[in-house]
Amino acid sequence: MATSAAPTYLTPEEYITLERKAIPDAETVRSEYVRGKIIPMSGASFAHNLITGNICIQLGTRLKDSGCVVLANEMRVSTPSTSSYFYPDVVVVCEEPRFEDDVFDILLNPIILVEVLSPSTEAYDRGEKFMHYRELPSLQEYILVAQDKICVERFSRQENNWMLTDFQNIEEHLPLISVQCELPLREIYERVTFPE
pLDDT in tens, 146-180: 999 999 999 999 988 999 999 999 999 999 999 99
Q: Band the pLDDT of 84: cuts 50, 70, 90.
A: very high
Region 83-102: what's the mean pLDDT?
96
Region 112-123: what's the mean pLDDT?
94
Task: Say what the pLDDT of residue 9 is.
Answer: 79
Task: Say what the pLDDT of residue 196 is.
Answer: 78
Tell me how far apart the terminal alpha carbons of the chain are, to the nearest angstrom: 23
**Side chain identity at 86, as an amino acid letter?**
F
Task: Say what the pLDDT of residue 4 is.
Answer: 47
| Cα–Cα dist 161/44, whole Å | 31
**Side chain identity at 185, as an amino acid letter?**
L
Region 99-117: what's the mean pLDDT?
97
Residue 142, C-beta contacts closer than 8 angstroms, at least 6 positions apart? 112, 113, 114, 115, 130, 133, 134, 154, 155, 162
Of the two residues 48 and 196, the one the predictor is more confident about is 48
Region 124-131: what's the mean pLDDT?
96
2-58 confidence digits (pLDDT tens): 544 455 678 999 999 988 886 555 455 678 999 888 888 877 899 999 999 999 999
| Cα–Cα dist 36/53, whole Å | 31
